[in-house]
């Protein structure tokens, strides 16, 4: 059974649990956002950071983070377009009525990638204490002394990306690096890079995780084991008792040292996204595959959708703070699939993948 749903309706279905009740065992969804945009398209200024906007704070770091992420966005999209060889990134700059804006770069219908997007956002204003609880696990200490219902002034700058290849043997990749400030001098960094294949290739996973470990070790030898374990916990699809993919690194609320040190770590991570991911895609982009293998890839994309719309902190935060819907839902694949009570054959590559999603492995 095929169906076309708006992303907003899909969110409602997922939260109600109804998406698992499609009548037929084979179903595909093509997802398109339908909410009217609340921002206006603009020419991107030299900087979206203005000292008169947002809470008092570290304005030099805000500008520095924005500039680094702008440069990373261009570098990553140019390198990915070169690997694809058949499509370029469409650029779309926008401004929020409540303050800030951003730049989206999206590749669609490429030779290698079905959909790839890298989105820069710089936003500021005030948010509810409930929204802050989504943005950080340490919300209680960050709102200490505030009255119930009092709004929280904030600044946030981030670069997020998801890439969905066509070939089932090419993994999906996601990264996000961000910087937050709220009132009273409170600040923190967050981010990570993770990979979601449909099939396990141990050599590929050793390369991906090894590249991330190399970046982490240059800054703190405790980073990789700590952030790898954090990713395995964070990307858990609780209602499935399995992870979205095969992990990577994830961190949040990072404020335990000089902000310049953490900035340099985030910069190193962003600048090594393609070196961790690109060689894997180039290696497998022309691999032959069967229809059944394609269907398995689409089922794993279904799991990706479930995580992003039910658990992902960035998605929920964006929706609670009135973010740009096209940017928030950019992470969703164009197509995904659900089969009723699908169980991979014992001993199959698909069963091995599920085992790795239920029992985290060291690569």
**Rounded CA separation 215/206 (Å):** 14
Residue tagged active-site, from 164, 174, 209, 284:
174
Asked if 284 is an active-site residue, the reply is no
Task: Write out the DSSP string of 305-332.
Answer: HHHHHHT-HHHHHHHHTT--HHHHGGGS
**Would you say 283 and 293 are in contact if contact means Cβ atoms under 8 Å apart?**
no
How far lies 7's CA from each of 31, 174, 309, 326, 353, in Å? 6, 19, 9, 10, 28
Closest residue by Cα to residue 320 from 142, 136, 70, 189: 136
Torsion angle, alpha carbons of 269, 275, 281, 282, to 10 = 170
Which residues have a Cβ under 8 Å from the Cβ of 108 and sit 6 or more positions away? 87, 90, 114, 115, 334
Pairing of strands 2-6, 27-32: parallel
Closest residue by Cα to residue 236 from 335, 325, 312, 341: 312
In degrees rounded to 5, what are phi and psi of residue 173?
-130, 145
Which residues have a Cβ under 8 Å from the Cβ of 189 and sit 6 or more positions away? 177, 178, 179, 180, 251, 254, 255, 259, 262, 263, 266
**Would you say 111 and 170 are in contact if contact means Cβ atoms under 8 Å apart?**
no
Residue 75 backbone class (left: φ over 0; alpha: ψ -120 to 50; beta: rest)? alpha
Active site residue ranges: 174
């Amino acid at each position: 059974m095929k169906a076309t749903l708006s992303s907003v309706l899909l969110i409602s279905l997922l939260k109600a649990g109804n998406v698992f009740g499609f009548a037929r065992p084979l179903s595909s969804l093509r997802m398109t956002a339908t909410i009217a945009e609340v921002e206006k398209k603009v020419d991107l200024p030299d900087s979206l950071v203005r000292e008169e906007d947002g809470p008092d704070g570290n304005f030099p770091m805000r500008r520095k983070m924005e500039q680094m992420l702008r440069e990373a966005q261009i570098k990553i999209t140019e390198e990915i377009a070169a690997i694809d060889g058949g499509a370029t990134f469409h650029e779309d700059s926008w401004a929020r009525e409540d303050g800030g804006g951003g730049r989206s770069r999206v590749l669609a219908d490429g030779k290698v990638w079905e959909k790839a997007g890298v989105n820069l956002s710089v936003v500021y204003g005030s948010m509810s204490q409930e929204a802050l609880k989504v943005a950080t696990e340490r919300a209680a200490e960050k709102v200490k002394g505030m009255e119930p219902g009092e709004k929280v002034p904030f600044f946030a700058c981030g670069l997020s990306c998801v890439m969905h290849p066509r070939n089932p043997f090419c993994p999906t990749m996601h990264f996000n690096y961000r910087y937050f400030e709220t009132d009273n001098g409170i600040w923190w960094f967050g981010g990570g890079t993770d990979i979601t294949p449909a099939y396990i290739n141990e050599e590929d996973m050793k390369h991906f995780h090894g590249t991330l470990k190399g970046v982490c070790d240059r800054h703190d030898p405790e980073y990789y084991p700590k952030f790898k374990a954090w990713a395995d916990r964070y990307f858990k699809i609780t209602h499935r008792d399995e992870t979205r993919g095969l992990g990577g690194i994830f961190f949040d609320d990072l404020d335990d040292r000089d902000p310049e040190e953490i900035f340099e770590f985030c910069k190193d991570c962003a600048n090594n996204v393609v070196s961790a991911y690109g060689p894997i895609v180039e290696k497998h982009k022309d691999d032959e595959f069967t229809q059944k293998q394609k269907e398995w890839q689409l089922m794993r994309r279904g799991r990706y959708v479930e995580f992003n719309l039910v658990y992902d902190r960035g998605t929920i935060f964006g929706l609670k703070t009135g973010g740009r819907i096209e940017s928030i839902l950019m992470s969703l694949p164009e197509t995904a699939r659900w089969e009723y009570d699908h169980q991979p054959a014992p001993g199959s590559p698909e069963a091995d993948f599920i085992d790795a999603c239920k029992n985290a492995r060291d690569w």
